[in-house]
Structure 1
């Protein structure tokens, strides 16, 4: 039995399809398969009306939190749900996996309930998840409430702007030039200036797409950055340095997954 050898969140899910989408060359169309899986598994849409939600044996003070949890689980899992949702349900036996575990945690956080991914994965039942969710009950503990308010004031996210260019370039250069394992192990004789040139070539597309952001302290100090592109609409970037070795290697690894 697989359940005796692998973790519950690693259990494969069997999906029956009438036909397999193919490309014109006869190979399997992986992108169509991914889209089909995404559509059939809810994609975060409100499919909880089709799922049976059982609120038995839940304390009154946790009913609203349980309702939020159950509806999010139903929404994330969509048509893959295999049984009614209750505090005795195991997320992975319902049809969950490691990927939509993260999505569920993110949606819970959007609703004001905090729980770590590792905490969520370690829970045997949704009742365990409910007990570990933090958020609605901060009011019952002034110390926790104060801590939450302090944490929420520590950092602020701001969409990428042209004024961030120098600091962002410095963060990217420092991060990859000094700490990137792949760059160090491949040893392609990369210079710090190569990252500056790369950022110069990417900067305008980054601003245009408006998907990237910086994280700053309340004092305005930029301490983090996330550079994001639409995977289906990446801008062409010409690389004239030995960074081409690293990017070619990464492209080789990603190609079977993306196409």
Structure 2
């Protein structure tokens, strides 16, 4: 995200007199985009800030929307510039001091009430620990996780934390719930009858029917007539969302020749697939896979030379740990969603595609799936929910290319490339 673009949009909001946009803990799972602003509206009420948020949502993509924080004035350094460190330090202090009240109403059953207390406690801890929740004064069963500050990263942590205390809940079940009451009802139902089919929703891998019969999305093996849609979707996704491509300035046009050159080979291998919206039939996500030991040949050019040479370097160091023959390991090469997808939709699609990868590997009698994750959201789905094993971790910013350039030096050292495998 270009913070200067976000800052311009905030500054242009009604009554805003000055604004500074900063990233809290960049590169970490709790990173949050913050917009500190001053206003000429001295009687500004919560409703006015809500109006500002709604206006901003019409001017920026959902993944660029910041948390709006109104101040009486912006702190300045002696040279007249905004004191960014003070803003972040004050935000950190206020965040830690916050503690919201948990309110549980409309639950008579003792067992379900205990579930509600546990689930809402997890939500409170997750939002506060991961950079959100400091503006909440109370958490109720009628609250929606995402409207309280939840995002594609901390929703995974919330689900993992709920599982860690002994309950069963699937990531998609959590995301699809209208509010926390819906989450509690699903968790309680699973806990009440561990032998029922509903209890299996917390398992690591969904069945094939769970995926194919999804009421919102359907998976389809890659076909020749999907080429333009798939290449366009993935090129746009990676050039606008990937830290590595943002650091090097790679554009969608840079991806076109690579993806077009390997497309026919991917179709022939029958290991790649798309996800379509069940209602419109539109392709909203795609996963490109190939046999690790039958990789389609392709050429790449700058600036993507840096990306693919880096991936080859980290992956070559762990390939000896994997099965050696054709037909044994699927390489999950590229996975992306449409840029118009919301946070909830992205989470659903990521989990759906990762689960479909596993079911596809089983159908084709493969032993394992290998992938390199550079996205925290995807990695947490793989590691914490689908039991992938990490083979290596490399700080992306540390890479020096043979040409002497450090192309990813601007990426925070907390962002890792993790080579992972799951045996199916």
TM-score by length of 2: 0.34
TM-score by length of 1: 0.49
Higher strand residue share = 2
**Higher RCO (CA-CA < 8 Å; seq separation 6+):** 1
Higher helix residue share = 1
